[in-house]
Amino acid sequence: MMVALVAPILVPVALALAWHRWGHNRRLIRILWIVQLLVAISALALAWRATPLTLALGTTHWGHPAHLVLSPTAGVLIAAIHLAMVIVFAAPTWRPNADGPPTPATSLTFILIGASCAALLVDDLLLRTIVLDLASLSVGLILLAESPAPTPLGSVWPYLLLHIGDIAFLLLALWLDLTTGTWSISQAFSRAIGLSAGPRALAIAAALLAAACKLGLPPFDGWLRRAATLSTPHRIMALGAGPPLLGAYLIYRLKDLLIGDPVSKAILIAIALLCAAYAIWRALRNSTVDLSDVLVLHGALGLFAPLVGWQRGYLLCFLPVRLAICWLIPQFAGGAVETPAARAELPNVLQLLAAGAAGVDAAFASLANGLGTLSRRLGAAMQRVHSGKLRRNLLIALLALPAILLAMLASLWTGTP
């Protein structure tokens, strides 16, 4: 039982290493795919247990007993992820004229799957933050390996956008620990419902920001648009089983908190409407539909789902729908839906901020030369006094110190002050 709980995390990682090292050994890879299929079936079987399966991981550095918990929903999602992996990657290896050499992006995709499964299983706020960040980093590296951006900043920009979500989740984790007194996700999320308005607002804001970044909702959709340019198998896994699924899962876990009061419900509706309207407006603007706009629209629907009580259904259908969007629609839409071309995502906001900071820096530099006329004159006078003699003057000052220290040392041994 316990092996079945750890296997969804470890098998993809082992597969990543094997793929990287022995990718040409078809027999070994096929055996690993069969193991992968067994993992999917066992996860599905365990999801039907009456009580969630739990595995103690020991006490964390921050003094909390961490667990892996397989809830029914997480079990179905994990089974779906592993089945999708088998369909997308394993099936083609049985073709007679199958694939070329293994690529780093594929190994990284398997690591992403391991991180996603860990995020679905782990019941500790800080551990969840760590695996979320690992998943973000994997997506950043997959993009770097397969679809590098024309600009260097563009290469790291997708990861940075996802990282904003990780930081927001870190804020949520720390805040929930402080206000609810536990690092356990299940306990913290259920206790958060009883928080007063102020602490509750901060928790909701952090959760929404984290979910928006992971789902790739505007204005954090830059990473999603880049990921949509990946090759089909990597695109499906990055956008179906990666951060967006984790964002949808966060919304699902926090649904009671998010729709608990009229204000947060109104905010949720407003964000969902704006994101959906933005995606539809972009889609209608051109003669063909950009695939990433379809994905944004699907993400926005995730915010609507808890409002109408469809959250669980939305989540359980998440991966099949994404599989259809990323794989089937471009195949059968006859060119009406296009995958976007790779382009530089220039972080204009950052450049603007950096330019402002450069101005502030210049102001500080002039301030450093003297505060006002008086200081400038004083500085100039000092420069004149020391001109060409600064080293000598510093040396003279330095020589005074050993004399004092030697006198003090002598007094220590003689005992006289």
Query: What DSSP element (H or E) covers 146?
Result: helix 125-146
Encoded tokens for 300:
């926005």
353, 376, 377, 381: which one binds another protein (CB under 8 A) = 353
35, 266, 273, 382: which one binds another protein (CB under 8 A) = 382
**Which residues in 115-134 contact another protein (CB under 8 A)?**
126, 129-130, 133-134
6, 153, 267, 321: which one binds another protein (CB under 8 A) = 153
Site string for another protein, 59-78 (x = CB under 8 A): --x-----------------
Rounded CA separation 83/64 (Å):
33
| Alpha-helical runs (H) found in 181-231 | 185-192, 197-215, 222-227
Tell me the closest approach of the beta carbon of residue 123 to another protein, in angstroms: 17
Q: Which stretch binds another protein (CB under 8 A): 93-101, 272-280, 332-340, 376-384?
A: 376-384
Rounded CA separation 19/26 (Å):
10
CA quadruple 123, 176, 221, 13: dihedral, nearest 10: -20
> Do 176 and 241 touch, CB atoms closer than 8 A?
no
Tell me the closest approach of the beta carbon of residue 357 to another protein, in angstroms: 3
Q: Which is nearer to another protein, 45 or 406 (CB)?
A: 406
Rg (CA), the chain: 28
Rounded CA separation 368/372 (Å):
10
> Do 202 and 174 touch, CB atoms closer than 8 A?
no
Q: Is 381 in the site for another protein (CB under 8 A)?
A: no
44, 86, 102, 177: which one binds another protein (CB under 8 A) = 177
Size of site (CB under 8 A) for another protein: 64
Start-to-end Cα distance in the chain:
75
Residue type present at position 415: G
Phi/psi of residue 290, each to 5°?
A: -75, 130
Size of the chain, expressed as the number of residues it contains: 417
Rounded CA separation 346/342 (Å):
12
Q: Is 146 in the site for another protein (CB under 8 A)?
A: no
In the block, which residue shows the tokens 């398997």?
110
Q: Which is nearer to another protein, 288 or 393 (CB)?
A: 393
Residue type present at position 138: S
**Which residues in 385-404 contact another protein (CB under 8 A)?**
386-387, 390-391, 394-395, 397-398, 401, 404
Rounded CA separation 351/343 (Å):
17
Q: Which is nearer to another protein, 1 or 357 (CB)?
A: 357
Q: Is 96 in the site for another protein (CB under 8 A)?
A: no
Tell me the closest approach of the beta carbon of residue 154 to another protein, in angstroms: 8
Q: Is 197 in the site for another protein (CB under 8 A)?
A: no
Q: Is 356 in the site for another protein (CB under 8 A)?
A: yes
> Do 131 and 66 touch, CB atoms closer than 8 A?
no
Contacts of 264 (CB under 8 A, 6+ apart): 200, 201, 204, 257, 258
Rounded CA separation 345/166 (Å):
20
Tell me the closest approach of the beta carbon of residue 350 to another protein, in angstroms: 6
Tell me the closest approach of the beta carbon of residue 149 to another protein, in angstroms: 8
Q: Which is nearer to another protein, 91 or 408 (CB)?
A: 408
Q: Which is nearer to another protein, 309 or 359 (CB)?
A: 359
33, 89, 110, 159: which one binds another protein (CB under 8 A) = 159
Q: Is 148 in the site for another protein (CB under 8 A)?
A: yes
> Do 219 and 195 touch, CB atoms closer than 8 A?
no
Binding site for another protein (CB under 8 A): 61, 126, 129-130, 133-134, 137, 144, 148, 151-156, 159-160, 163-164, 167-168, 170-171, 174-175, 177-178, 202, 347, 350, 353-358, 360-361, 364-365, 367-369, 379, 382-383, 386-387, 390-391, 394-395, 397-398, 401, 404-405, 408-409, 411-413, 415, 417
